[in-house]
Structure 1
Amino acid sequence: MKKWFAAVLLAALVLTGCGPKQPEAHEAQLFAMDTLMSLRIWGDEVLVTQTEDTLRSLEALLSATSEDSDIARLNRDGTAELQPQTADLLQQALDCATRTGGAFDPTVYPLVCLWGFPSGKYHVPTEAELTGALAHTGPQHLQLNGAVAALDAGCSVDLGGIAKGYAAERCAHQLEETGAQAAMLSLGGNVQTVDSKPDGTAWQVGIADPNDPSSAIAVVRFTGSKALVTSGDYQRYFEQDGVRYHHILDPQTGRPVQNGLRSVTILADSGTLADGLSTALFVMGLERATEFWRASSDFEAVFITEDGMIYATEGAAPLLTDCTFTELKR
């Protein structure tokens, strides 16, 4: 759930800089999956329309709040035969839950609703309410057999923590297959690139300053097809009685994560992986997340802490500019 300002910030960074005149890029903006999306595609103009159509169709399948979606039917009926894309993403979400030891959990929707984030009717739960909701969360409550999914009674699924990454990745593959020269898709805090910029310069993606999200605290510069996804406590929150409550919930406690992190940015080849891990590593906290990265080989990360410190894994460090940071080594 990344707010519109992230898309605006990222688009602004991409469009800055000098250099040779580029071939014409076609641009569009749309609001889908609860965020403002910006598309910039080099190639036939029809590719923009096709990408928009794909994003709309995936939203219709994956939204937990649209009553005709696959996910809404599963949550309502307890079982559903899913479209191939939904089943594919649900399996990847379960795989991410297993890999991260439950730090990413696609079944936290009862908790998300309890806090009022989908409706905007915010509520700080009592301990009894949290205990009741936690009894209906956990990947063990979700079964997937091919295209048929089933949920235990009282449980529900929300793919909001991974769906935009999946959508961006599918659109990128579609653009590659249909002849796009290059593209940058900015779906809120999710960025997906296709190939390198036609003028040969690097892609430039800003990481939002948690204290001033309309500006960048650092810039990541890279070439080629990559996904860069940020999860932060500033993206969606409410305040009550002087206390700030953000939307990234710890699946173990049911409460907003409080571990000293403000944001986690993941750089990976897969948008789906980057999206899921950005949430999971935020939940883990810096120390555990760093150990998780050291045991992995398919992503890099940038962490921003409450005291304004920036930590970059050794694969991300050479790409990070316009900031001071500490490099994390294997």
Structure 2
Amino acid sequence: MKKRLLCALLALSLFTLPGCKRDPEPVEVTAFAMDTVMQLTACSGDTGGTRAFLGELTARLTELDSQLSATREDSFVYAVNHAGGEWVEVPDSTVLALLHDALSLCEVTGGALDITTYPAVKAWGFTGEERRVPSPAELEALAEKIDYTAVALSDWAGEGRRGGAALPQGMEMDLGAVAKGFAGDLLAGEVREVGITSALLDLGQSTIVAVGSKPQGTPWRIGVVDPAQPGSCFAVVELEDCAMGTSGGYQRYFEQDGITYWHILDPDTAAPARSGLASVTVVSPSALICDGLSTALFVMGLEEGAQFWRDHPELEFEAVFVTEDGEIYCTAGLERRFTLAEGFEDREVTVLE
């Protein structure tokens, strides 16, 4: 957690805040939600009003967290997971929209992203303090219960007829792979609605949303974590009205008998994805796309992930792949917005066409 926070602060201090030093001054608020530290920064002439507004956004984050947490016993997701197959009423249309978006991403990625891996995540110990390696038989049984198509939804139908969700008994879902991105898109929309044209929403764990540019019109410059040295950033991506999300094995992992096991699981095996990648960074107008696809592309691996990018221009995303051998691949649409950081200029970058 300390390493992730260090790099997030490094990215902000080196690449963002200098652009806000001119009038208007940046206003920042910090919150803890969705198991991570979040920092919201906005540049506005109305310092007091902006601070109050950002406070409202942190309250919105807390509200979403209370609905989407898989561990809070009063949350909607927890209720679905423990309903024994019965329908659970969706608290509001926002949550229903998230479920639809999440399942759409699961479908378009062919299940490389699957929101029903939660029992396997728990079995590995990534939801608690004690890590463990499940047996092959246990993994086989866990994999059989990973299937996003088993999530049943009934749509919102007006007052008195709310939407609902259900899962077969023994299955559980977790929206952690998309929740921060969804929240980022939601908050960015609210920022734009109040007329703020320059803001940076750092939702933690490498999920960042840029609203507009810096006040003087230059892009926000965000560091990309080096998976081999998580305390440093090997590259910089320029963002303007865009979002960025990174998934990497370095973010949450443990070692046992000389083998590293990370939290990004392959839905087909219920085990850590062994795709040859160390991290994937996705850039898109949608933070939800960034979050969901960074996980899915990590599971797919370089070759399949690059082909997915070629096959799905409608998703409007670009990506940076870093292999376990340290090779860097960048999709063509990101080439002009991607530069190697100081100290990493000698690294070779292959542009994917």
Runs of 5+ consecutive residues of structure 1 not aligned to the other structure: none
Structure 1 residues 163-214: Cα deviation after superposition (integer angstroms, max 9, x where no partner): 0000111010011112223110111210001111111222101100111112
Superposed CA offset, 1:50-86 (max 9, x none):
1111111111111111111110111011331112222
For residue 246 of structure 2, what is the aligned residue in structure 1? 230
1:171 to 2:187 alignment: yes
Instruction: In structure 1, give the amino acid aligned to 2:336.
Output: P
Q: Which amino acid in 2 is paired with 1:302?
A: V
Provide the alpha-carbon RMSD of the alignment. Answer: 1.7
Instruction: Say if 1:182 and 1:197, in contact at 8 Å, map to a contact too.
Output: yes
Relative distance call for 1:18 and 1:128 in structure 2 (3 A) is closer
Residue 338 of structure 2 corresponds to 320
8 A contact 2:265–2:271 mirrored in 1: yes
Matching of residue 144 in structure 1 with residue 174 in structure 2 = no
SS for the counterpart of 2:312 is: coil
1:20-31 matches, cutoff 5 A? 21-31=22-32
> Residue 300 in 1 paired to residue 318 in 2?
yes
The amino acid of 1:52's aligned partner reads: T
Deviation for aligned residue 1:241? 2.0
What is the rounded CA distance, in whole Å, between the counterparts of 2:88 and 2:57 in structure 1? 27
- State the distance in 2 between where 1:171 and 1:9 align: 23
Shift in Å at residue 19 of structure 1? 8.9
Counterpart for residue 61 of structure 1: 67
* Match of residue 47 from structure 2: none
Kept in 2: contact 1:7–1:187 (CA 8 A): no
The Cα shift of 1:6 comes to: 4.1
- Change in CA separation of 1:135 and 1:19 when aligned onto 2, cut-off 3 Å: closer
Instruction: Quote the residue 1:125 is aligned against.
Output: 134
Tell me whether 104-113 or 46-55 shows the greater mean CA deviation: 46-55
TM-score (norm 2): 0.89
Q: In structure 2, what is the equivalent of residue 76 of structure 1?
A: 82
Q: Is the 8 A contact 1:268 1:274 kept in 2?
A: yes
User: Could you say what secondary structure the match of 1:219 adopts?
Assistant: strand
Task: Please give the alpha-carbon distance, in whole angstroms, between the structure 2 residues aligned to 1:55 and 1:186.
Answer: 12
Please tell me whether residue 10 in structure 1 is matched to residue 11 in structure 2. yes
Moved more, 77-86 or 304-313: 77-86
Identity %: 43
Q: C-alpha distance in 1, partners of 2:106/2:188?
A: 24
User: Is the 8 Å Cα contact of residues 19 and 214 (structure 2) preserved in structure 1?
Assistant: no
User: 1:161 is paired with a residue of what secondary structure?
Assistant: helix
**Contact in 2 for aligned 1:38/1:187 (Cα 8 Å):** yes
- Using structure 1 for the length normalisation, give the TM-score: 0.95
Task: Call closer, same or farther: CA 1:169–1:133 in 2, change over 3 Å.
Answer: same
Bigger mean CA deviation after superposition, 107-116 or 35-44:
35-44
Instruction: Label 1:306 to 1:167 Cα distance change in 2 as closer, same or farther (>3 A).
Output: same
Q: Decide whether aligned partners of structure 1 residues 215 and 16 sit closer, same or farther in structure 2, where only a CA change above 3 A counts.
A: farther
Counterpart of 2:97 in structure 1 is: 88
Residues 179-194 of structure 1 correspond to what in structure 2 (within 5 A)? Answer: 179-188=195-204, 189-194=206-211
In structure 2, the partner of 1:159 is 175
Whether contact under 8 Å (1:22, 1:199) holds in the other structure is no
Deviation (angstroms), 1:20:
7.3
Distance between the aligned counterparts of 1:254 and 1:234, measured in 2? 19
The CA distance in 2 between the partners of 1:160 and 1:261, in whole Å, is 21
Instruction: Give the secondary-structure state (helix, strand or coil) at the position aligned to 2:238.
Output: strand
Q: For each residue in 1:210-258, what CA deviation from the matched residue of structure 2 results, as whole angstroms up to 9, or x when unmatched?
A: 11112111000133x1110000000001112222110000000111011
Which SS does the other structure have where 1:201 is aligned?
A: coil
Is 2:237 aligned against 1:220? yes
- Paired residues in the alignment total 328
**Preserved CA contact (<8 Å) 2:29 2:54:** yes
How far, CA to CA, are the matches of 2:198 and 2:274 in structure 1?
39
Residues 205 and 133 from structure 1, CA distance in 2 versus in 1: closer, same or farther, beyond 3 angstroms? same
Q: Tell me how far apart the structure 1 counterparts of residues 258 and 287 of structure 2 sit (CA, whole Å).
A: 36
- Which runs of structure 2 are paired with 1:25-64 in the superposition (5 Å)? 25-43=26-44, 44-64=50-70
Answer yes or no: is the 8 Å Cα contact 2:250–2:262 preserved in 1.
yes
Task: Verify the 8 A CA contact 1:7 1:36 in the aligned structure 2.
Answer: no
Residue aligned with 2:230, SS = strand
**Deviation of residue 125 (structure 1)?**
0.2
Look up the equivalent residue of 1:213 and give its one-letter code.
Answer: P
Distance in 2, Cα, partners of 1:273 & 1:99: 11
Q: Is the Cα–Cα contact under 8 Å of residues 3 and 35 in structure 1 kept in the other structure?
A: no
Secondary structure at the counterpart of residue 45 of structure 1:
helix
